[in-house]
Structure 1
Amino acid sequence: MTHLSVLEWDRVAVGEGGFSRRQADQLLAAARSHPLGGAEGTNILIDHHRWLRSQQVVGIVAGEGCSLEILPKIDQLGDAVSSEGRAGLRHRLVQMLDVALGLEINLGRDAAMARQDETLLDILIRAFADQLTNEVRRGLPRQYLRCEEDLPTLRGRLDVTRQFTTLAVRPDRLACQFDILSPDTTLLQVMKACVVFLARHARRAETVRRLAELRVALADVADVHPHHLAWDKIAIDRSNRRWRSLLALARLFLRRDWQATHRANDLRDLAGVTLLFPMNDLFEAYVAALLRKALAPEGYEVVSQGGLRYCLNEIAPDGTLGRPLFRTKPDCMVRRNGRTVLVIDIKWKRLSAAGSDPKRGVSQADVYQLMAYARLYDSARLMLLYPHHPDLEGEGALARHRLNVAGADERLTIASIDVAADRLATMASLKALVLGEAMVPA
C-alpha cells in the first residue's frame, strides 16, 4: 500500500519516489468518478505525466493499493515533507472539520502529534470508534417496536382476523400482537452499517479491534445495506441527542453529503474511501460556525449562505414586475435586531502584501459582488476575509475602503484571520474583528 501526502496546489511525483504509473491512473480514475472532480477529474487532480498536481480540495483520494492525502496549505504550520509538518496540518484540518460539521471529535493535539503515521481517514475512523464505544457503554437507545407472532400462549392482544382465518385450523397457536423494547432502531442500524463498512478500511490494530467489539455489542441490531438505510426516519430528540455528533460522522462516511464522500463502485469495493472537501467551502463553514458561537452571547445572529434576495426582476409590457432573476447567497451575514450590520465574503485565497500589489490580489468580481450585497441587504459594512500568512503586515483588518458611489456610506474592509491558531484564539480574533467593524459608525 503506497500512501503519500501533498499540499493543495502542490504536486506529487509519478515514478521514482512517488506513485507508479498504474497507481497514478487509479487515483485519476477516482478523481474522475468523484462528484467534485468535474468532467475529467481536473477539479481534484491534474495529470502532468511525471507528476500529479492537486487542486483546491483537501482529504483523501484512494485507489487500489494506493492513496493520496491532500492537506491544506497553511504556511505557519509547515509543509507536507516532514512528519511533524504533516501532523500539524492534519490536526488543523481535523479541527476545521470538527467545527464546520459539528462532529465533536475529542482529539487533543498531543494525541494527534503522537500518532504521526495516521492519515486523515485513520483519525476519523478512530474518532468514530472511540465515540461510539463510549456511547454504547452508556447504554443503547431503545424504542418500542410492533411485533406479530403466532405463539402457544397469548402475549399482548389477539389478532382476531388472523386467528379465525389463517389460524382457524391451528388451535395450538394464537395470533399475537405485542410491543417489545428493542435496540433495533434506524439510528443504530446506521451505526452498525458504519461499523461494518469502516472495519474494511481501518489500518490500526487497535481501531480494528474496537470496531470488532462494537459489532458484537450491536448484534441485536439488524444488518442493513447502506444504500437501504432510512435516513429520513431518524429523529434526534432529547432521548438520543448525545448521538447527534455520531450521526454526523456516520453521514460523513456513508452518504454523499456536503463533503461528497465517495466509493468508486459500491460499498463493498475494497479499493478505499475517497473523502474530499472543497477547501473554500470548508473555510466558509468553519468561520461561520466560530462566529455563531462567539457572537451569540452579544445578541448577534450569524447567517451563512442565506439572504436569498434577487438582483433583478423582469418588467412586463404593462409595467408590472415579473419573475426575479439572479438570486444571491452571501457567505456570511451578521444581523442584530433583524437588521444586517455586516456582510462577509470568505475566501480561501492567498492575499498579497500591500507593498507588492495595491489591490492585494483581490478579485474585481469579488468587489462588484459586495457592492451588490451592500444595496440588496442594506448593509453599510462589508468585509472580504482571507486566511492569514506570514507575508502580510498583520492579522485582522488590513485595509478599509469607502465605496466610490455618490452618496454612499458603505465601507469595505479587507481582513485576514490566522487559521493556524487554536480554536479559542481564532474565535476570539473573529469576535474582535467583526464587532470592531459592525460597531463603527458610518
Structure 2
Amino acid sequence: MKPVITVREYARLTTDKITEPTLDLAQVSVSAFDWLCKLNATFSNAGAALVQLENRCLLKLDNYVGVLETPCGTRLEILPKHFEREDCIKQSRVLLRRMIQVSLDLPTREVGAADLQNFDAPLSEWVMGRFLLALDHLIKRGLRFDYQRVEEEQRFLRGQLDGVKQMRQPPGRQHHFQIRHDIYLPDRPENRLLKFALDEVCKATKDAGNWRLAHELRRVLLEVPRSRNVQQDFNQWSSERLMAHYVPVKPWCELIIKQKIPLAVAGEWHGMSLLFPMEKLFERYVAASLDKDLLQDARLKTQAHTEYLCQHKGKNFFQLRPDLMVLHQNKSWVLDTKWKRLNSSGEDKSYGLKQSDFYQLFAYGHKYLAGEGELVLVYPRRSAFDAPLQVFEFAPELKLWVLPFDMERGVLLGAPEGFPLHSQQLQSSEQSA
C-alpha cells in the first residue's frame, strides 16, 4: 500500500525520522523529497513557489492545497490551515471539498451534506468517485451515438456504390465493390474525453469501490476510442439540447483531465495530482457565495480591469484589478479577499493587517469609486476574528471595512448598511425585532 501523508498549508516535510508526525510536521522519503525540490524549480521558473527549502533535509510547503502524488508512490494530501485544532483532518477535507465545489461550480446532485460529512477519503479519491458516479448515471441514461461515413471495399453491396472507384477496379477484381455507407458509432468528442478520463481514473484510484466501478464502466466503453487531442475535443463538446444529460459529468471530466484546475502538475510524471492556490480558491469561494446571496437586482463583477493607477506619455500605466465589485442601483462597493489569519483581540495593534493592502484599497477607492464610497477587505473568520473591525477612514467620504467570512456557512458577516445581501436584510430584521 502506497503511503498517504496528510499535512496542511505551510507544513514542514523532512527526511529525518519523526516519532509523532503532526499536520505541521511530517516525514517523507528521500525520493519524494528530491522530487518536490525538482518540482519546485519548475514552479519557481513560472513565478510561483510550491515549497521553501530550509536545509538539506527540511522543506516548508507554501499556500497550495490539494493532493500531490510522487513517482515513488507517496501521496501528499495538503489541507487548508483554517481550523486551530490538530485533530481537524475530517473537517478540513469537508471544507476544502465545499470550496472546490462552490468555486468551480461543480454539480452537487449526488453529493448531499450527509455525504460530504461521511465520505472521509483523500481529495483525489473523492474527485474520482464523483466523476464515476456522474459517468455511471450518464451511461444508464444512454450514450449519444453519431453516424460516421465509412468508405471501404467489400464483396457485397451496402449503402452507396462509389461509381468512380468501381470503374477503376483492375481486371479480376470486379467482384469487389467500392462502397460508402454510414455506421452508427459512439465515436464522439464527448465520449472520447470520458474514455480518456476513465482510463486515468483506472490507473490512479486506490479505493476498492472506485476501482471496481471504474473497470465496470470501462467494459461498457470498450468501443469508444480514447481522445488523441484533448483540447480539440473539449472545443467540440456539444451543448445542444439532446446532449443535456452530458452537462453534469463535464466539470468532473475537466477536473480529472486537468483542464480546469487553477494549477496542476505537468511533466513526465502524470500521477493523480490536483493543486489549488489557496488565495485564489478563497477568492472564488467568496465570489460564488456572495453571488448566491445577493439581492436579485444586484450584480457581482469579478476581476474588474477598467481603471489604471496613472498615465504616462498618453498611455495607461499599472492596471488596477480588484477581486470583486458589487453594483446595486446607483452604488458600488469594491471588495478584496485575503487568505490570512487576523487577530482582533488587541495583542497586535495592527491586527495582522498589511500596510500594502491599505495602499492597494486606497487606489481602488479613488479610481473605481471616485474617492467616495465603501471598500471591503474580506478575511476568513476564526475565533480571534469573529466580528468586523471598527471602520477605517481614508477620508470622511471614503471608508474601509474589514469583515470576517464564515467559511463553513459561506456567509459574509457584518456587511455595511445598504450592502445588498439577503443574509444582511435577515440580520437587520432580526435585530429590529
TM over 0.5: yes
User: How far apart are 1:352 and its partner, in Å?
Assistant: 2.4
Are 1:433 and 2:425 counterparts?
no
CA contact (8 A) 1:75 1:390 kept: no
> 2:206 maps to which residue?
203
Are 1:331 and 2:323 counterparts?
yes
> 2:299 maps to which residue?
301
CA contact (8 A) 2:326 2:332 kept: yes
SS at match of 2:28: coil
* Separation in structure 1 between the aligned mates of residue 145 and residue 305 of structure 2, nearest angstrom: 40
CA contact (8 A) 1:102 1:245 kept: no
How many residue pairs end up in the alignment? 409
Residue identity matched to 1:433 = A
2:351 to 349, 353, 360: 360
> 1:67 maps to which residue?
75
TM (norm. structure 2) is 0.84
CA contact (8 A) 1:146 1:179 kept: yes
Are 1:107 and 2:90 counterparts?
no
CA contact (8 A) 1:27 1:61 kept: no
Change (3 A) 1:437 1:24: same
Change (3 A) 1:153 1:330: farther
Change (3 A) 1:364 1:158: farther
String of CA shifts for 1:94-114, please: whole Å, max 9, x gaps.
Answer: 111111112224334544454
Q: CA-atom RMSD, angstroms?
A: 3.0
> 1:384 maps to which residue?
377
> 2:362 maps to which residue?
371
Residue identity matched to 1:417 = F
Query: Where do residues 2-401 of structure 1 align in structure 2 (5 Å cutoff)?
Result: 2-17=3-18, 18-33=27-42, 35=43, 37-38=44-45, 42-63=49-70, 64-75=72-83, 78-79=85-86, 82=87, 85-105=88-108, 106-116=110-120, 118-152=121-155, 155-165=158-168, 170-225=173-228, 230-255=233-258, 257-267=260-270, 272-295=271-294, 297-315=295-313, 321=314, 323-336=315-328, 341-353=332-344, 355-378=346-369, 380-392=373-385, 394-395=386-387, 397-401=388-392
Query: Where do residues 396-407 of structure 1 align in structure 2 (5 Å cutoff)?
Result: 397-404=388-395
String of CA shifts for 1:55-92, please: whole Å, max 9, x gaps.
Answer: 1110112211312111001126x33xx3xx21111111
* Separation in structure 2 between the aligned mates of residue 166 and residue 364 of structure 1, nearest angstrom: 83
String of CA shifts for 1:233-272, please: whole Å, max 9, x gaps.
Answer: 22333332443342222222323544222244054xxxx3
Moved >6 Å (runs of 4+): 166-169
String of CA shifts for 1:366-413, please: whole Å, max 9, x gaps.
Answer: 222222222322362210000011012x34x33322323xxx622211
Residue identity matched to 2:374 = R
SS at match of 1:248: helix
Change (3 A) 1:228 1:370: closer
* Separation in structure 2 between the aligned mates of residue 309 and residue 169 of structure 1, nearest angstrom: 78
CA contact (8 A) 1:44 1:57 kept: no
Deviates more, 1:248-257 or 1:328-337: 248-257
Change (3 A) 1:437 1:114: closer
Change (3 A) 1:226 1:111: farther
* Separation in structure 2 between the aligned mates of residue 126 and residue 29 of structure 1, nearest angstrom: 30
User: How far apart are 1:115 and its partner, in Å?
Assistant: 4.6
* Separation in structure 1 between the aligned mates of residue 53 and residue 306 of structure 2, nearest angstrom: 34
User: How far apart are 1:308 and its partner, in Å?
Assistant: 3.7
SS at match of 2:241: coil
> 2:427 maps to which residue?
none
* Separation in structure 2 between the aligned mates of residue 135 and residue 216 of structure 1, nearest angstrom: 15
CA contact (8 A) 2:322 2:364 kept: yes
Residue identity matched to 1:305 = Q
- The share of aligned pairs that are identical, in percent, is 26
* Separation in structure 1 between the aligned mates of residue 171 and residue 319 of structure 2, nearest angstrom: 66
Deviates more, 1:278-287 or 1:323-332: 323-332
Change (3 A) 1:16 1:158: same
* Separation in structure 2 between the aligned mates of residue 434 and residue 142 of structure 1, nearest angstrom: 54
* Separation in structure 2 between the aligned mates of residue 373 and residue 169 of structure 1, nearest angstrom: 83
* Separation in structure 2 between the aligned mates of residue 56 and residue 328 of structure 1, nearest angstrom: 24
> 1:318 maps to which residue?
none
* Separation in structure 2 between the aligned mates of residue 176 and residue 399 of structure 1, nearest angstrom: 81
* Separation in structure 2 between the aligned mates of residue 184 and residue 89 of structure 1, nearest angstrom: 41
String of CA shifts for 1:34-54, please: whole Å, max 9, x gaps.
Answer: x4x557984335344443321
> 2:400 maps to which residue?
412
Residue identity matched to 1:70 = I
SS at match of 2:352: coil
* Separation in structure 2 between the aligned mates of residue 218 and residue 45 of structure 1, nearest angstrom: 44
* Separation in structure 1 between the aligned mates of residue 225 and residue 117 of structure 2, nearest angstrom: 38
Structure 2: any 5+ residue segments left out of the alignment? 19-26, 425-433
